[in-house]
Amino acid sequence: MNDISFHPDRAKADSAHIGRPALRVEDAALLSGRANYADDQGVKPGTVYAAILRSPHAHAEIASIDSAAALKMPGVRAVLTGADVKSWATPFAVGVRQPMEHWCMAIERVRYVGEPVAVVMAESRYLAEDALDAIKVEYRTLSAVVDPEAAAEASAPVLHEAVGSNVVNDRHFRYGDPEAAFAAAAHTVRLKVHYPRNSCTPIECFVVVAEHLPGDDGYDVFSNFQGPFALHPVMARALKVTGARLRLRSPRDSGGSFGVKQGVSTYIVLLCLASRKAGAPVKWVEDRLEHLQASVSATNRVTTLEAAVQPDGEILALRYDQIDDCGAYLRAPEPATFYRMHGSLTGAYKVRNLEVHNRVVLTNKTPSGLVRGFGGPQVYFALERLIQHIAVELRLDPLAVIERNLIEADTFPYRAPAGALLDSGDYQQAIAMAREQGGLAELLARRDQARAEGRLYGIGYAAIVEPSISNMGYITTALTAEERARAGPKNGASASATVSVDALGSVSVVIDSVPQGQGHRTVTAQVVADALGLNPPDIVVNAELDTQKDAWSIAAGNYSSRFAGAVAGTVHLAAVKVRDKLAVIAADMLGCSPKQIAFAKGKIFSLERPEEKLPFHRVAGATHWSPGMLPRGMTTGLRETVFWSPPQLVAPDENDVINSSGVYGFVFDICALEVDRATGKVRIDRYVSAHDAGRILNPALADGQIRGAFAQGLGAALMEEFVYGSDGSFLSGTFADYLVPTTCEVPELQILHMETPSPFTPLGSKGLGEGNNMSTPVCIGNALADALGKSDIVLPMTPSKIHALMALADPPPRKPRTGAPAQLPAGGHGLNMAGAVDLAASPEQVFAVLLDPDALSRVIPGCHALTRTGENRYRADVTIGIGLVKARYAAEVSLSELDPPNSLSLGGSGISAFGSASGAGKVRLEPAGSGTRLHYDYSVAVSGKVAAVGGRMLEGAAKIILRQLFEQLGRQAAGGEAAGAASTSLSWWRKLTNALKDAK
Amino acid sequence: MKPAAFDYIRADSAEETVALLRQYGDDAKILAGGQSLMAMLNIRLAQPKILVDISRCEQLNYARIDHGKLVIGAAATQASIEWRANLAQEVPLLKLAIPWISHFQVRNHGTVCGSVAHADPSAELPLCLTALQGEVVLRSHAGRRVLKADDFFQGMLTTAIRQGEIIEEVRFPLQDKNARYAFEEVSIRHGDFALVAVAAVVTPDSIDLTIGGVSDRARRLTLPKITGSDLDDAINDFAWELDAQSDTHATAQYRRHLVRELGRKLINGLMQ
């Protein structure tokens, strides 16, 4: 409903509270330890606790699941498996037309490490975790594909066989006349970039309390799901219930989300089914390992971007070739990472010709989803790196290239070629402000001086358009116009707010923004206080959403920086509706026209006779205490709900022109930094961030948003990455592996504001919570490119990567090393190891040991039992570990390619509570004096828990175990040590276990 | 992320501790500061049946100067050593190195002996003990034995501790008045596991360079007093001997580079 008139100028003139740095009303509870987070909520008696068994494999068929032993364990109530899921639920709806099924749990096949395979419900989380190890799952492993470009190849292992390819969506777009522009331009400048997998890691992980209600009543869920509530219908359909029978409730406080808690949605469905299985309410709290490996990741992207450029830097056309890696399943709202930014792919620039090729690719990784900045970091890392690269290639100043192409201030609202209707701005003025107040001239002088001294100093820029208030229809741009026509148009971005006044005249407000720590209750109170002539402490704001009781629509939730523009604006409209009703009542009481009624300082009065004041509560109370006295025709009560959607948000047209967001702010950043030549470490000398987000509602909260986004952008630039091995193993399972900047690493930044109010939102405001997530990674990247004189900037730019870019010599030792392990390619995560061991036995003796099961069992480290299962094939029960860490593996050992006594292949693979491990390689025996030199060349793959949390030590541990294996082989083969060998083996184990003794 | 069930026993003396270790054998583990062990318990990488907590054992909470050494008991926290009034004169290398151990919250709980027992290849305290050629006193119900650092550390997370033994104390030699000391490390964030950690000790006639974070344990190189390209070559040879490994944070080549850069920088700084 868009028929409500609003007057930004009038609202501004009235404001006593909007625009002020009001203290957060949320903080009293947070700072006194009395917050009400999802995990703090009490649960019903009889609630059971869930733990989730997850796949250690990136890609495998599930041959069998045996939970009989787990069900016999103390306190275990039930185990949910794929079979239950299949009978009670349906796959999630997917945003593209493809025959691929995404369920809330693995069905018959796992496609990423960490994918849920079974859920145990027990009387405590401890008991539930105990039972996880007792569930026996047999997997048949399949080849995994991790790299998105490789996944797009025809020869790649296919994740979803019914699709027949990993490319699940492939679209071409063309706006203007890009071919002519490229033909006409003096230069074509091209850059290929990769944006990594990363996230924004909230302190609080996912929480779900789900209850299957008796009979056909559906499900009641309390969770920290943050929206978008377009996923509510997706969840309800997966559960096969009507929307009204899936009640979602959210807690008052949040330990952060940054978009990531969109991913709670799949677990809501899973835990609803778990409750159904257990016949009791089920609570699940995600732990950090689960969160890092299997919640949500930002979409990694490979972009090849070309610009048609004139000699003065004018860009005539852009050509994007983008591959988005959405992980193992296309989880709603993907492929939105592409389409959120689609209308504004030309950024802050007046480029009129645009060509886009978008491919969505699936790989054996965690499904991607909302992460603060959603889509923006990926686009701007390509676009703004290209701008810098154009400057380098054409020997221009990068800032001159930016300024040459900026959209002119007098052309707003400006329709970008792909459809974004940029509402307002003055980009030139914002850049001038940053240049002057940020001291750019001084920074350029510092760079000159540093370079004269041989230091590595660089300056980078980023000019970005920051979209907010997502168009619910943008996702359908992934479909062709014909497919869209069949599905029916989707568009808009409905926000809702309810303002109520009770019998004592106190005001309460309900909003649909599901805040995640931003301070929405504070700002809402400021907005309503201004509209009603009250003070913010007079206003009580409830931001807990209950889908059965509150006003909401599919666009509800905490994403796309929709609060300031859409929600606060809708709050204003609802408060104005209350005000208008009160004005009619007060005019009746005062005998004047409602148009003359004013509200201030808790009083209502006529502008003509301001001395005659009515207390606010008196007028409001009349709607409750004396409805019979209300003006004729007026309804009783005082509660107004407003739904608002920006009329500019229409569905994509037949030419794929889409206004993907409601409003568009502007950010311009300057980063000056120095790289230490010796260590490759980066020191940010100064960071300036200039913002125009329209009208600022609370400058303190606005700056807080910018600081937080900057810290996350810095993390993305320099340290954060979800790393996968080439086999799909996940290697970043702790905060010692996935590095998030702390206060020690985040420099002070200089924040600048200007306000160009939006004509499209009720209060003239735009979102600003994601700008630095979009601008900072590339701004730092550009500064590094400038400092190092290199174009191949691959995030995160860790000191090791910077070192590699510096291409310094790695002088060999004076004496070549003998028997030294082969050096691995730089940055390789695969565990390939080669080496040599000298054994005091002849090759024949060594070979004899390998062929003798009894002797072999004494050679394999930690072997409890060895059973022959075929020719040169054995089943082994082994305990393997280093120091504190040990696990018992059920392993298969095999010998092949036997060429006695020269060489053979010796392989093993096993599974334990730590995950899976396998090693395969060639062993070559060479006579050396009276003994043998054993050469080995092994590839070792470790996946699951131990890979996720032990990455730092994996290679070392694998080397130790291999070396122990071969040294023991030598001792055994040397003969006469048969008894001694066994005791040596024992002492090896003793040594390990002894290491546990004093570990603290 | 909940630990498997275990029994918890708080030991109030060294005698009780070794008696418990004798009684329970392999099933018992010592808990001191818990800064490595608790995380491993929660993630179930370690599943001991019994934890013997010595963190409140006053008898083992000491640090004293004895026979030319700073002797640190098993329950003494890293912070208690960090803030010794004369640490810079007593053991200058510890004064330089301890602030690199994670963050102060960790040092408030973490113990010196616990870090030595854990033998993390990147840890600062095993590195210092190796650099200074200190000693580890192991105690069991049968008595005590004293090992030199070089004999104590055997590899990644692997030491010479036998079943039934606890580290009762570690001993750091006091400052050699003729020596100068330096310490530095590189990690991505402050407090992370060191990618490379370097301690240098220079005396009038020798150079000791000890490297952590690269090999399976801290490794020490002793050189005569050489300079210039001789020194550079010697450090480079050592960097290769350490057999650096690549992980998700740093390549082997980068680690060798840091060994060369930091080694040269620290030694040259001390020789000026």
Whether the CB of A56 is below 8 Å from some CB of chain B: the reply is no
Contacts of B143 (CB under 8 A, 6+ apart): none
Q: Among partner residues A719, A800, A914, which is closest to B251 by beta-carbon distance? A: A800
Give the SS3 label for residue A591.
Answer: coil
Residue of A126, A206, A1000 to mutate when probing chain B, most B C-beta within 10 A: A1000
Q: Among partner residues A739, A812, A960, which is closest to B156 by beta-carbon distance? A: A960
Q: Among partner residues B40, B165, B192, which is closest to A739 by beta-carbon distance? A: B192
Q: Which pLDDT score is estimated for A977?
A: 45
- pLDDT-derived band at A3 (thresholds 50, 70, 90) equals very low
On average, the pLDDT of chain A sits at 93
> Is residue B72 within 8 Å of residue B47, measured between CB atoms?
no
Residue A60 φ then ψ, to 5°: -165, 155
Largest CA distance in chain A: 117
Q: Which pLDDT score is estimated for A951?
A: 77
Q: Do B251 and A804 touch (CB under 8 A)?
A: yes
H helix or E strand, kind and range, residue A785 = helix A771-788
Tell me which residue of A565, A359, A351, A311 sits closest to A463, measured CA to CA.
A351
Of residues A48 and A972, the one with the higher pLDDT is A48
Whether the CB of B118 is below 8 Å from some CB of chain A: the reply is yes
d(CA A874, CA A62): 22
B68-82: average pLDDT: 98
Please determine, for residue A400, whether its predicted confidence score (pLDDT) is greater than 70. yes
Instruction: Please enumerate, as own/partner, the contacts of A482-491 that have beta carbons within 8 Å and a separation of 24 or more.
Output: A483/A97, A484/A651, A484/A652, A489/A651, A490/A651, A491/A649, A491/A650, A491/A651
Please determine, for residue A36, whether its predicted confidence score (pLDDT) is greater than 80. yes
> Is residue A775 within 8 Å of residue A669, measured between CB atoms?
yes
Whether the CB of B56 is below 8 Å from some CB of chain A: the reply is no
Q: How many helices (H) and strands (E) does chain B have?
A: 11, 14
- pLDDT-derived band at A955 (thresholds 50, 70, 90) equals confident
Whether the CB of A679 is below 8 Å from some CB of chain B: the reply is yes
Q: Do A997 and B256 touch (CB under 8 A)?
A: no
Residues of chain B positioned with their CB less than 8 A from the CB of A737:
248
Please determine, for residue A820, whether its predicted confidence score (pLDDT) is greater than 70. no
Contacts of A183 (CB under 8 A, 6+ apart): none
What is the distance between the terminal CA atoms of chain A, rounded to a whole angstrom?
64
Residue B20 φ then ψ, to 5°: -65, -40
> Is residue B133 within 8 Å of residue B157, measured between CB atoms?
no
CB-count exposure of residue A16 (10 Å: 0-12, 13-18, 19+): middle
How many contacts (CB atoms, under 8 Å) link A and B?
218
How close B141 comes to chain A (CA, Å)? 14
Q: Which pLDDT score is estimated for A882?
A: 81
Please determine, for residue A411, whether its predicted confidence score (pLDDT) is greater than 50. yes
Q: Which pLDDT score is estimated for A971?
A: 87
Q: Which pLDDT score is estimated for A833?
A: 80
Residues of chain B positioned with their CB less than 8 A from the CB of A824:
246, 252
A682-711: average pLDDT: 98
Residues of chain A positioned with their CB less than 8 A from the CB of B74:
998
d(CA A266, CA A274): 13
Q: Which pLDDT score is estimated for A956?
A: 79
- A170 is written with which tokens? 């492939």
DSSP B95: H
How close A83 comes to chain B (CA, Å)? 26
Residue A981 φ then ψ, to 5°: -60, -45
Whether the CB of A957 is below 8 Å from some CB of chain B: the reply is yes
Q: Do A998 and B30 touch (CB under 8 A)?
A: yes
- pLDDT-derived band at A954 (thresholds 50, 70, 90) equals confident
Instruction: Please enumerate, as own/partner, the contacts of B38-42 that have beta carbons within 8 Å and a separation of 24 or more.
Output: B39/A734, B40/A884, B40/A885, B41/B3, B41/B4, B41/B6, B42/B1, B42/B2, B42/B3
d(CA A595, CA A603): 16
The ipTM (two decimal places) reads 0.96
> Is residue A614 within 8 Å of residue A603, measured between CB atoms?
yes
Q: Which pLDDT score is estimated for A862?
A: 86
Please determine, for residue A311, whether its predicted confidence score (pLDDT) is greater than 60. yes
How close A962 comes to chain B (CA, Å)? 14
A191-207: average pLDDT: 97
- Pair type for strands A76-81 and A116-122: antiparallel
Q: Which pLDDT score is estimated for A124?
A: 98
Whether the CB of B48 is below 8 Å from some CB of chain A: the reply is yes
Q: Do A991 and B163 touch (CB under 8 A)?
A: no
Q: Which residues between 68 and 107 in chain B have a beta carbon less than 8 angstroms from any beta carbon of chain A?
A: 74
The number of angstroms, rounded, from the C-alpha of A701 to the middle of its chain's C-alpha atoms is 23
- pLDDT-derived band at A819 (thresholds 50, 70, 90) equals low
Q: Do A129 and B115 touch (CB under 8 A)?
A: no
The number of angstroms, rounded, from the C-alpha of A699 to the middle of its chain's C-alpha atoms is 27
What is the distance between the terminal CA atoms of chain B, rounded to a whole angstrom?
52
pLDDT (tens digit, 9 = 90+) per residue, A253-306? 999 999 999 999 999 999 999 999 999 999 999 999 999 999 999 999 999 999
On average, the pLDDT of chain B sits at 96
Tell me which residue of A719, A197, A199 sits closest to B191, measured CA to CA.
A719
Q: Among partner residues B44, B189, B237, which is closest to A744 by beta-carbon distance? A: B189
Q: Which pLDDT score is estimated for A818?
A: 61
Mean pLDDT is lowest, of A326-340, A600-614, A743-757, A805-819, for A805-819
Q: Do A804 and B156 touch (CB under 8 A)?
A: no
- pLDDT-derived band at A916 (thresholds 50, 70, 90) equals confident
pLDDT (tens digit, 9 = 90+) per residue, A473-483? 999 999 999 99
Of residues A97 and A8, the one with the higher pLDDT is A97
Q: Do A824 and B243 touch (CB under 8 A)?
A: no
Whether the CB of B245 is below 8 Å from some CB of chain A: the reply is yes
Percentage of chain A surpassing pLDDT 70?
A: 95
Q: Which residues between 845 and 884 in chain A have a beta carbon less than 8 angstroms from any beta carbon of chain B?
A: 882-884
Residue of chain B nearest A679, judged by CA positions: B258
Q: Which pLDDT score is estimated for A967?
A: 85
Tell me which residue of A211, A941, A344, A231 sits closest to A658, measured CA to CA.
A344
Residue of chain B nearest A681, judged by CA positions: B188
Buried-exposed string A673-703: b where 16+ CB fall within 10 A, e elsewhere: bbbeeebbbbebbbbbbbbbbbbbbbeebbb
Q: Which pLDDT score is estimated for A830?
A: 57
Whether the CB of B237 is below 8 Å from some CB of chain A: the reply is yes
Q: Do B44 and A129 touch (CB under 8 A)?
A: yes
Q: Do A882 and B154 touch (CB under 8 A)?
A: no
Alpha helices in A225-326 (DSSP H): 231-238, 264-278, 288-294
Q: Do B257 and A737 touch (CB under 8 A)?
A: no
Q: Which pLDDT score is estimated for A975?
A: 72
Whether the CB of A820 is below 8 Å from some CB of chain B: the reply is yes
- pLDDT-derived band at A420 (thresholds 50, 70, 90) equals very high
Q: Among partner residues A129, A829, A995, which is closest to B2 by beta-carbon distance? A: A129
Q: Do A991 and B154 touch (CB under 8 A)?
A: yes
CB neighbourhood size of A634 (10 A): 14
> Is residue A811 within 8 Å of residue A823, measured between CB atoms?
no
How close B192 comes to chain A (CA, Å)? 7
Residues of chain A positioned with their CB less than 8 A from the CB of B158:
882-883, 960, 991-992, 995
Q: Which residues between 120 and 179 in chain B have a beta carbon less than 8 angstroms from any beta carbon of chain A?
A: 121-122, 154-159, 161-167
Tell me which residue of A381, A406, A378, A377 sits closest to A313, measured CA to CA.
A406
Q: Which residues between 93 and 132 in chain A have a beta carbon less than 8 angstroms from any beta carbon of chain B?
A: 125-126, 129-130
Please determine, for residue A985, whether its predicted confidence score (pLDDT) is greater than 60. no
Q: Do A999 and B35 touch (CB under 8 A)?
A: no
Whether the CB of A283 is below 8 Å from some CB of chain B: the reply is no
pLDDT (tens digit, 9 = 90+) per residue, B128-181? 999 999 999 999 999 999 999 999 999 999 999 999 999 999 999 999 999 999
A219-224: average pLDDT: 98
pLDDT (tens digit, 9 = 90+) per residue, A508-536? 999 999 999 999 999 999 999 999 999 99
